[in-house]
Structure 1
Amino acid sequence: MARLTAGAGLKYLLKTTMQADLIKPINDATSYYAKAGTPQGRWLGQALTGIDRQQLQPVTAAEAKAVFSLAQDPDTQAILGRPHSQTTVASRSGERQQRDAVAGFDLTFSVPKSVSVLWAVADNDVRQQILDAHHRAVSTVLAWLEQEAIHTRTGRNGVAHVGTKGAIAAAFDHWESRAGDPQLHTHLVIANRVQRRSDDAWATIDSRALFKAVVAASEHYNGLLFDELRRSLGTEADFRSPTAVQRNPSHELSGVDTALIMEFSNRSRLIGAETDRLTQNWTYEHGKKPTATTIIKLRQIATLSTRQAKDESPTPLDELRVSWRDRARAAGQNPGTVVERTIHRSRQRPVRASDLSPAWVDSAAALTRDGVARRRATWNRWNLLAEADRTCADIRCHSSADRRFIIDAVTAAAESQSVPLSADRYRLPVNAAEDLAYAGNSAFDFPGARLYTDASTLANEQLIMQARHDGGGPAARSAETSAQLTTYRHRAGYQLTADQLAAALAVLTSGNRLDAIVGPAGSGKTTTMAAIKAVWEEAHGAGSVVGLAPAAASAGVLARELGITAENIAKWLYESLGQGANNRADRFRALESTPRGKHGAVTTQLARLSLQQSLWQFKKNQLIIVDEASMVSTIQLAGLVHQARDVGAKLLLVVDPAQLDAIDAGGMLGWLHRDGKAVELTSIHRFTHDWEGPASLQLREGNIDAVNLYAAHGRIQHGDFTDVVENAYAAWAGEQRDGKSSILIAPDNDTVTTLNERAHAAVVESGIVDAEHTVALADGLTAGRGDIIIARKNNRKLTDSNGDYLRNGTLLRIAKRPHRDGTITARRVDTGATITLDAVYLSTSAELGYATTAHRSQGITVDTSHIVLTQGCLTRELFYVGMTRGRNSNTVYVCESNLALDEPHVPVASSSWRQILGEVLAAEGAERTAHEVRESESAKADTLQRLAAEYDYLAQLAAAEHLTSVIAKLMPDVVTHLHESPSWGAGVAVWRHAHAINPAAAQRVLDGALRPPGDAQDHMAVIHARLRRVTGDGVCEPLGTLNEQLFTERPDLQDMLDQVRTRTINRRALVARMALMDRPAWVQRLQATMGATIPADHWAAVISDVAAYRDRWDIETYVDPLGPVPSNYEWEQTQERAGLQRQIEFVLHVNAGAPGRDQPTLPVPVVHKPLTAVGPSL
């Protein structure tokens, strides 16, 4: 899903349609097959009545501009709520940036590739049925989103979730990908305007909920589409295994061959066609065929030229259809045969909701919960909904209603099987109105925000944390260890720094079952590990240190650097606890039952199996170093802890938690670090330039100020995609020629391929690589003698001349011309060992190896690093990894255009390079543990900041009711008119404030203001201005007393007010009690300021009010009791802070014995002044 601003995105969709402003019926889809362009958009959504439009009615350019770009009614031009605005803001770097309002959201629904292929080669009737099925699925998903996700928030900080009448959306169909392959997809553009059900007011969508629901919506769409296709065409679907192009299993139509899908899925085909065209032109111009070197140059030109934006005048569908059918025939596939073997084949009875049994629902729910729990430590309802659809993906349902029922039932059961980390805070009043209730909960308890985990996740996390406190692990004697570390010399000749020595000493002598060392990139973690290994083996003998790592390649590096045996963690767990161990156990039991006559042979085999199993077990007093431990999942770590504990071994986790996290549920290393349970390395030794170490730490923390440092030292380049790719390559290639070690990093696999192809062209041109005799690789490219390739799959059967097996990530240089059978002889770049690779491995599991992704670059140290950055592709952690690989320099090349990907998204406004870097630094991808999330949810559940916003929302509703009743008594004819005024919310807020200060004066002013306002355009604005005179500069008192007199005749509203008041009083008492008991730094400073002679009751009252103020305004880290001085626009906090300051001075003054004053009592707030700032949002 992409955000569309008022100034970009929609223009592209409208330009590609055939009839920008002609309103014609679109019942006959075949009418636009022969026309250039895509079909005219159509209106969708349940809220279309708000703009007087009908479902499926064509969208004209004028209507789209009014609704999306201007936020206006397309007929009356009335503003829908508030107009879109564009603001100019200053970034922290000082750059002025334009920020456009969000006009809408583009959700792109693309059919699976096999469906696009069938649609591309089928006759008109089948093609139309596929299109109709796709449309029905999109419409059903939109209706699902309207019920589950699309709503608005209101009140201060959007504290209340309020239901809406649905969505206003426009759907635009597109036929092809940028590469020209069939890719049937629909851009569903949802306007960022909705009507509240409670009062018909226009508001914006809660985009946070919509973004969280996108994956679930996509999975639901897939299930609905296959259901629709089965009903209309009798199709079936099956799962296809991952390929070199598609890394994950895909759900495709049975009958559409994978080979045909690949024919229409590979951008290299488009590049190949363009290369052929360029080759023909070159031959014509030069009168001879080009050499292999020239052809590679032409292919490089084709690669970049085919990344240009899609044509705004697309080819007519009939022409595309002819070309697609011809391509199918050329691939050996008859279109008619493809259709015949795909449709009318389903024999399974579709499932109805009534078919479900409670036992099946519970079973499917358990599968759903376990599937989510494998990938994340905590989850929400959206995660479960998406997983439920994946679990039920191969189940065909009778209707969309049946699928919805099944998915909801499985999700609800999965929620009940999960452990909640947050709970509903309020009891929903009986007959609660729309402004107090949403989705069966109070407006303050949004179901989509509720978080869960499961018992096994909590248990595994607790097991790992307990191992950190378990003092029963092996250790070294501290006196000897300190001396050994002090005299230790690394093989490169240098000693340990102070922080490295302290870390090593702490680990070696702690006696903990588990320890962790954390440190930023370049802090010397490997050096520290080497020292620990040397001292540990002195105490416990050779071989008492072994290594584990999350990848086979990194395990190999660890083994070479430390001189130890090291293994891939997944392989270790498979052989020690998993299926490998189970298989050996089964064979062992089978052999034990063998007849006695064969006892001798059996005994030998039993001994061999027992020995094999022992090789995969930890030993007593062993130290197991787990490198790159943040990439190890919690369940894997728990398995290692169990093994170490059982035999008396020790685990040492070594990591930078700010680098890559585990693919599956993780977060443990971050928790150990944040909880102070890890030893930390603080000095950075990698970088040549003094400024780069501190700058890298700022990147690590996501500090945007780091951008200025890197820019000032020439480490940031920017431009369009073609330029940054070329500049990054040129810089990398130049340093390679100069003999420097350098790494070229790309944000995604497509860009890796582009850079690899560019590098390949250069080495061919220079004569380093033989382009005449090549082998095919998995990335669609070819390689010859001299080329560098990378292995992408572990293969323990392929061993090199040193006896080491081939690991994923190993770089190899092709040493000789390929053999006739397609095998090659290659030499490892790291060790020089030779290895032979067959054609099958090369074509399925090897790629050119000049460029790499940030994921694969972790753990590499080189002279220089060059990283290409495209918007939305990297998290902070990945970017930090890429920018810390080089000793001498690390340079980023920021792509400011959006042509890097071939995804079918609407173009959006290009961001500046500073904005793109800011987004990356803000995109924290590290996961938090379930324990941390539970603590965080508990801490923020009832803060006074949250409760104040909830109370103000409810008080504002009461004030609106009260003001309406007063106006109705004085002048009933103007009530409706005043309600429709844009100043109504602000007027309600100031009425509430004025009536609290002086009810009689507020009544008089209102009475006078209700008289005809003359030529005033906004009567409510006049009332608001006059009531402001009553409020004056009324001071807001500290939150907690809530003595404000509110008027409401609504039982539901009064019930909610009472609940919030109770929670507020309890919270205020709690924060005061905690401040007095824990005596944090701010309490100690306040006591030092006020002295020790203040009476206990005065002291407790001051602490209570200050603690409430700090909780109310989220002041946590400041030692100053009242925190920083608020900004000018934060007038309420400013007034409350000033009031507390006066209160403190008053207590000091009285207790200093001022003459003529009796023993004082502290001022008691009489009224909690309301917030006028809340008004406009209502």
Structure 2
Amino acid sequence: MLTIATMTPAKAGSYYKENYYDEEDQIEFSEWWGKGAESLGLSGQINDPKIFRNILQGLTADGQIKLRAAPPKGKEARAGTDLTFSAPKSVSMAALVGGDKRLIEAHDQAVNRMLKLVQERYAETRINKRIISVDNICVAKFLHDTNRELEPNLHTHCLMMNLAQGEDGQWRSGTNGNLYHRKMFLGALYRNELAEAVEELGYEIEPQNDGLFEIKGYTREQIEGFSDRHQQILDYLETEGLDDTTENRITALFATRKTKQKNVDRRELREQWQAEAKKLDIIHPLPKPSPQKVESNMQELVAQAVRHNEERTAIFTSEDLESFIVSQPTGKSFDEIETVIKVNPRLIRRGDRPAKFATEESLEREKMTVAMMLEGQNKFPAITPEKELQLPENLTTSQTVAINHVLKSQDRVVGWVGVAGAGKTFTLKTLVAIAKSQNIEISGFAPDASSAEVLGDEINITTNTVAFHLLENREPSTQRQLWIIDEAGKLSAQEAYDLLQKSRLYNAQLLLVGDRIDFALR
């Protein structure tokens, strides 16, 4: 799992004090990482608290030079962004209780691969209000082995400093919006990378829900025996009435955090773990020379990802393909996945950070969609031609403009883009009443059944899903039709194309209704 949190200098400074490994373990528990760290002369273990504090404050290691501007008055400084990568519980048990320290190295390599990806794709700064890509990050890594209940929990805090060096050599603040937007994606990639490494060590894995996995050989009861923290999260979800999703678990994780215990006797803690393992009848699974790997046909998986994405949109990113591919562990490393994507013969590649792709089919469909929209201009008489209707006085100016836009339009496709709280339901009800008075047949459609049902109940019209409507084969009506498509920004490119084709056959006008966020994601 991956969690992300913005850190102040005071909060981030606590990591330096949480050294979870003693010298006898001979494990490097902290490390400077990234091209940004190298440029600042930082490498190896984080063994000087003064240097660490200076970097958190946006200063050079010696504290002599300011590297970023001060925050606006009244705002607390942002030291950096904490990306915490947590291994599955069974990996923690095999590594920390079972004693296979190779799994710690596998976890660390998976974390480093994700940091490399962040540095290559998502490192940014802001210059004159413009977001500019850079090729460097400065990260302080801290490897921890327990959660707040002192249970085995292998995880790494990657404190990505609020620093970025531009092409001009000047240091500035970094931006972190990219990371928050890609939290689920990076978490899935980390799990895939770790799963591949775990299998290479000889363990078998068992894929779980939401792209998670566990090492085969531990029962659910044994895993839960070391998961009091996990149970706290589940209890919180139940109390708050939240679904058990990865996103909600992350919310619960932060909501139920306790202060970490200090001055823990490491040997005593390991003895407690061994005693608990014995009580749970745990026999740690042994790696095999040639394990049964969960391995996918990568060429076919990439082909499926291409088909999935080209149906949704004309142009998609490498990230879109990768997200589809790693929704379950593949048995392949991220580098192997990237290689197969690069050689896929159907993909037309443009740009970078991340790369954008299309196929000949998706581009041709896009051209035909645009052509149909242009062909549909000035094809209908206005619903209320010349006269200005007396609209309800309690409509806002923007609602009045939206209604008149539909009533006066002569185009096949009309669009409404709104925001939450803009009064969409009231505006639609007013429009429907006027259109019905002009003998217009109104139908409503939405991408999913629940949205279609809500639309029908709210504005009192017949509704169904877009998919059902496209499959339905009924005789065209002689009555003029207006089709209201709610949440239109969630339609796939193929659905939008098919809707346009069907509207031509039925001589219907389309009113596409959605919000800015959904349309922006198209």
Q: TM-score, normalised by structure 1?
A: 0.36
CA contact (8 A) 2:432 2:442 kept: yes
| Structure 1 residues 492-528: Cα deviation after superposition (integer angstroms, max 9, x where no partner) | xx89788767754653564532223455556554344
| Structure 1 residues 277-314: Cα deviation after superposition (integer angstroms, max 9, x where no partner) | xxxxxxxxxxxxxxxxxxxxxxxxxx999835432517
- What code does the residue aligned with 1:97 have? G
Q: Tell me which residue corresponds to 1:529.
A: 428
Q: Find the partner of 1:107 among 83, 89, 92.
A: 83
CA contact (8 A) 1:368 1:391 kept: no
Matched, 1:236 2:135: no
Q: Tell me which residue corresponds to 2:513.
A: 654
SS of 1:448's equivalent in the other structure is coil
Counterpart mapping for 1:581-730 below 5 A? 614=473, 619=477, 621-655=480-514, 657-658=515-516, 661=518, 667=519
How far has the Cα of 1:149 moved from its partner? 5.1
Matched, 1:334 2:287: no
Q: Tell me which residue corresponds to 2:66.
A: 83
| Structure 1 residues 936-990: Cα deviation after superposition (integer angstroms, max 9, x where no partner) | xxxxxxxxxxxxxxxxxxxxxxxxxxxxxxxxxxxxxxxxxxxxxxxxxxxxxxx
Matched, 1:131 2:119: no
How far has the Cα of 1:419 moved from its partner? 5.5
Aligned partners of 1:205 and 1:99: how far apart in 2? 14
- What code does the residue aligned with 1:390 have? V
Q: Tell me which residue corresponds to 1:97.
A: 74
Counterpart mapping for 1:39-188 below 5 A? 40-44=29-33, 55=44, 57=45, 59-69=47-57, 71-73=59-61, 77=62, 79=64, 82-84=65-67, 87=70, 89=72, 96-98=73-75, 100=77, 103-116=79-92, 118-119=94-95, 122-123=97-98, 125-126=99-100, 128-142=101-115, 148=120, 169-178=139-148, 182-188=152-158
Aligned partners of 1:645 and 1:363: how far apart in 2? 36
SS of 2:154's equivalent in the other structure is strand
- What code does the residue aligned with 1:17 have? N
SS of 1:8's equivalent in the other structure is helix
How far has the Cα of 1:16 moved from its partner? 2.0
Q: TM-score, normalised by structure 2?
A: 0.72
How far has the Cα of 1:259 moved from its partner? 6.2
Q: Tell me which residue corresponds to 1:253.
A: 215
The count of residues paired between Structure 1 and Structure 2 equals 501
How far has the Cα of 1:186 moved from its partner? 0.5
Matched, 1:9 2:24: no
CA contact (8 A) 2:211 2:328 kept: no
- What code does the residue aligned with 1:269 have? Q
SS of 1:188's equivalent in the other structure is strand
Matched, 1:565 2:462: yes
Distance 1:650-1:190 versus aligned 2 partners, 3 A rule: closer
Distance 1:202-1:150 versus aligned 2 partners, 3 A rule: farther
How far has the Cα of 1:205 moved from its partner? 8.3
| Structure 1 residues 1034-1054: Cα deviation after superposition (integer angstroms, max 9, x where no partner) | xxxxxxxxxxxxxxxxxxxxx
| Structure 1 residues 178-224: Cα deviation after superposition (integer angstroms, max 9, x where no partner) | 5666532111235567899x99x785686579848877765553333
Aligned partners of 2:30 and 2:164: how far apart in 1? 20
Aligned partners of 2:142 and 2:368: how far apart in 1? 52
Q: Find the partner of 2:262 among 287, 303, 313.
A: 313
Aligned partners of 2:63 and 2:345: how far apart in 1? 44
Aligned partners of 2:129 and 2:399: how far apart in 1? 46
- What code does the residue aligned with 1:132 have? E
Distance 1:532-1:261 versus aligned 2 partners, 3 A rule: farther
Structure of higher RCO (CA pairs closer than 8 Å, 6+ residues apart): 2
Aligned partners of 1:272 and 1:367: how far apart in 2? 34
- What code does the residue aligned with 1:65 have? R
How far has the Cα of 1:529 moved from its partner? 3.1
Q: Tell me which residue corresponds to 1:1024.
A: none
Q: Tell me which residue corresponds to 1:513.
A: 412
- What code does the residue aligned with 1:394 have? T
Distance 1:454-1:112 versus aligned 2 partners, 3 A rule: farther
Aligned partners of 2:265 and 2:125: how far apart in 1? 44
CA contact (8 A) 2:107 2:194 kept: yes
Aligned partners of 2:261 and 2:422: how far apart in 1? 52
Aligned partners of 1:528 and 1:473: how far apart in 2? 25
Q: Tell me which residue corresponds to 1:1041.
A: none
How far has the Cα of 1:14 moved from its partner? 1.7
CA contact (8 A) 1:40 1:59 kept: no
Q: Tell me which residue corresponds to 1:92.
A: none
% identical equivalent positions: 23
Counterpart mapping for 1:643-1042 below 5 A? 643-655=502-514, 657-658=515-516, 661=518, 667=519, 926-927=520-521
SS of 2:53's equivalent in the other structure is helix
CA contact (8 A) 1:193 1:204 kept: yes
CA contact (8 A) 1:180 1:270 kept: no
CA contact (8 A) 2:413 2:509 kept: yes
CA contact (8 A) 2:20 2:144 kept: no
Q: Tell me which residue corresponds to 2:288.
A: 344
Aligned partners of 2:196 and 2:178: how far apart in 1? 24
| Structure 1 residues 256-293: Cα deviation after superposition (integer angstroms, max 9, x where no partner) | 4556656766868338999xxxxxxxxxxxxxxxxxxx
Distance 1:175-1:555 versus aligned 2 partners, 3 A rule: same
Aligned partners of 2:411 and 2:141: how far apart in 1? 60
Distance 1:319-1:643 versus aligned 2 partners, 3 A rule: farther
How far has the Cα of 1:13 moved from its partner? 0.5
Aligned partners of 1:317 and 1:140: how far apart in 2? 29
Counterpart mapping for 1:430-445 below 5 A? none
| Structure 1 residues 661-690: Cα deviation after superposition (integer angstroms, max 9, x where no partner) | 2xxxxx2xxxxxxxxxxxxxxxxxxxxxxx
How far has the Cα of 1:370 moved from its partner? 4.5
Aligned partners of 2:400 and 2:114: how far apart in 1? 59
SS of 1:9's equivalent in the other structure is helix
CA contact (8 A) 2:453 2:463 kept: yes
Q: Tell me which residue corresponds to 2:244.
A: none
CA contact (8 A) 1:87 1:98 kept: no
How far has the Cα of 1:409 moved from its partner? 1.7
CA contact (8 A) 1:84 1:103 kept: no
Distance 1:482-1:49 versus aligned 2 partners, 3 A rule: closer
| Structure 1 residues 999-1053: Cα deviation after superposition (integer angstroms, max 9, x where no partner) | xxxxxxxxxxxxxxxxxxxxxxxxxxxxxxxxxxxxxxxxxxxxxxxxxxxxxxx
Aligned partners of 1:261 and 1:392: how far apart in 2? 20
| Structure 1 residues 904-945: Cα deviation after superposition (integer angstroms, max 9, x where no partner) | xxxxxxxxxxxxxxxxxxxxxx43x5xxxxxxxxxxxxxxxx
Distance 1:459-1:250 versus aligned 2 partners, 3 A rule: farther
How far has the Cα of 1:26 moved from its partner? 5.7
Distance 1:187-1:472 versus aligned 2 partners, 3 A rule: same
SS of 1:335's equivalent in the other structure is coil
How far has the Cα of 1:550 moved from its partner? 3.9
| Structure 1 residues 569-627: Cα deviation after superposition (integer angstroms, max 9, x where no partner) | 45x26xx44xxxxxxxxxxxxxxxxxxxxxxxxxxxxxxxxxxx547x87564332223
| Structure 1 residues 719-753: Cα deviation after superposition (integer angstroms, max 9, x where no partner) | xxxxxxxxxxxxxxxxxxxxxxxxxxxxxxxxxxx
How far has the Cα of 1:225 moved from its partner? 1.9
SS of 1:131's equivalent in the other structure is helix
Aligned partners of 1:116 and 1:188: how far apart in 2? 18
SS of 2:82's equivalent in the other structure is strand
Q: Find the partner of 1:408 among 303, 324, 338.
A: 338
Aligned partners of 1:327 and 1:85: how far apart in 2? 49
Aligned partners of 1:388 and 1:305: how far apart in 2? 28
